[in-house]
A and B are shown apart, each in its own frame.
Chain A
Amino acid sequence: MPKPKMFEKPAGVKDLLPEALEKLRSIESRVLECMRRWGYSEIMTPTLEYYDTVGAVSSTSDHKLFKLLDRNGTTLVMRPDMTSPIARVVASLLKERSFPIRLSYHANVFRAMEEEAGRESEFYQAGVELVGDKTADADAEIVALAISALKAAGVRDFNIALGHVGFLNGLLDENLPDLPETQSVLKECLMIRDYVGYRNVLAGLELEAEARHRLEGILRLQGDEEVCLRAQTLTANEQASAAIRHLREMREILSAYDVAGYVSFDLTMIGNFSYYTGMIFEGYAAGHGFPVASGGRYDNLLAQFGRPAPATGFALKTNRILEIAQPETGMERQRTLVVYAAHRRAEAIRYAAELRSRELTVETRRLEAVAGGNVAQPTEGGGYIVDGVRYAHVAEFI
């Protein structure tokens, strides 16, 4: 690679200019405030973690981790998500705290991605983890809070697809009992959303007509609550039936939250992560080609840090939300300019301080710093233009 030009940055990272950052901060504060009202306390963890702890248990595949060496030659990773660092904290620093524990975060995470637009190596996630509660109520709370947070962020038109890994595991076990390898091939097909591949694998198997019908049928298990009813008729397996009961209970609770209208079901969804153990969901918003939220239950993670506990949570992809969110207008900050000549400096600074104490945004400038004799040019839309910058008011001490 040639030596980079001075203005260049590594692939996949971005500068956030004031306008974009202001929008990001506004989304961030509204989302965190929303999470706080549901009883979640914000937490911050370090950017660097050990490869052998957080790196090893993370759901992010090894080749996407940014790795580096510390002074002793120990391998570190830049955190690829916030879930595993939080699991580490819950199992160590918060060991004495009793369950359930509710934590929230807004943080940058790092993943080595292909060099392409929209695939950042450093991006922002706002999310929550609810540790120590295994009920459908906890899962429904997570989905309802995700919906609430998306609304708070200013996302208008969105939909949540809800699934459960237990259904698929149970159904595959029931119909292909002695073929664990075929089961994983089929799951792999569903994971990469290759329905054609899934059907081709089935076509190559010797199956009873009934079993074939059931296995092909799951590709149609997408839609409203009626999907759960249909799914129930497809299986007698205990794990699969339990998954369906869990989803139906969640659906009932989500109705109580009055958000069931945002939720559709998809029993073919098994998520990117092998570590999800129960319900999983993704959020999709009009105007963005990639999901804006994802979450699920991960009951095996905490045990790896020595404090076994059920856990569930979600993360919003704040970068993507930034592109589509429409926060309330009028957010643009009104600025006041105080100009002064040297001999009236003290008076001008006192005046600026007084305005700031009334929560106004004030800039001060000594007169020599302003070009031209006539300082402020009034504009048609109200306000003034000084050296190309717009101010709502200009106060002169000259």
Chain B
Amino acid sequence: MQEILKVAMPKGRIYKQASRLLQRAGLPIPEDVHEDTRKYMIPVPEAGMEFIIAKPVDVPIFVEYGVADIGIVGKDVLMEEQRDVYELLDLGIARCRMSIIGLPDWKPVLNPRVATKYPNVASRYFRQKGQQVEVIKLNGSIELAPLIGLSDRIVDMVETGQTIKENGLVEHEVMYDITSRLIANRVSYRLKHEPIRHLCDMLQRSLHETEARK
């Protein structure tokens, strides 16, 4: 009997790309498995899986505690949360970058302040650069901060650059390139090694093929 893999899937932007990636790799995931049902747990017996639909920031937590065996989550969240999990594969989806953003005429100020959804990443980054900045954690609409004078810069994710452009902001510096990753729990990685390994191989093969077609 094959053991069921519990997969923490991120709600929202990445979900569709992630499930399409699994399909492309050859997993029989039915088309009607949507995230927009109200169910948080979706059995996918065809693929020997059960999806656990979670908020992206919670995916590494579920995997670290072992309530999900594996998960799909952005590198931005992994860097912010620093959970003790295996980072097995770069899935190459949801590609974007984490950048320092500000008004076009930004100049160094006396008391630099940075607003962000990623306070840990931002503090670490500026500390390593030897810059002293105050970091303010916000939970959404980060672009607002420099416009209303809460901070002089922000650290946020940029995909197309449309949002920052519409708000009259510019990207000053790219900090990190971000993609989604396949992560695994430390114990599941041992006790369910075969199915996880198999999934990795399938995904890797499909990623190489996509790469080759480009």
Q: Could you list which residues of chain B lie within 8 angstroms of chain A, going by C-beta atoms?
A: 64-67, 84-90, 181, 185-188, 190-191, 193, 197
Contacts and interface: CB of A to CB of B under 8 A. Distances in A.
B66 A288 contact: yes
Contact of B193 (A195, A223, A286): A223
B186 A284 contact: yes
Contacts of A199: 90
Contacts, number: 51
Given A193-B186, A291-B186, A286 B87 contact: no
Contact of A285 (B65, B88, B187, B197): B187
Contacts of B85: 193
A195 B86 contact: yes
A196 B181 contact: yes
Interface residues of A toward B: which range? Answer: 20 to 34
7 contacts: A161-B190, A195-B86, A199-B90, A284-B191, A286-B187, A286-B191, A289-B186
Interface string A178-206: 00000000000000111111011000000
Interface of A: 118, 157, 159, 161, 192-197, 199-200, 222-223, 264, 284-286, 288-291
Given A159-B191, A222-B193, A264-B193, A290 B90 contact: no
Main secondary structure of the interface of B (DSSP, over half): mixed
A270 to B, nearest CB: 14
A326 B212 CA distance: 52
Nearest to B91: A196
B190 A264 contact: yes
B87 A290 contact: no
A279 to B, nearest CB: 17
Contacts of B89: 195-196
Contact of B190 (A118, A194, A284): A284
Contacts of B193: 222-223, 264
Closest 9 A/B residue pairs (Cβ)? A289-B66, A284-B187, A193-B86, A194-B87, A284-B190, A289-B65, A196-B90, A196-B87, A159-B190
A290 B186 contact: yes
Given A284-B186, A285-B187, 9 more contacts: A157-B191, A161-B190, A193-B85, A196-B87, A222-B197, A286-B191, A288-B66, A289-B188, A290-B66
Contacts of B64: 289
Contacts of A195: 86-89
Most B C-beta atoms less than 10 A away, residue of A118, A195, A289 = A289
Contacts of A192: 84
Contact of A291 (B87, B88, B181, B187): B187
Contacts of A290: 66, 186-187
A289 B86 CA distance: 12
A163 to B, nearest CB: 12
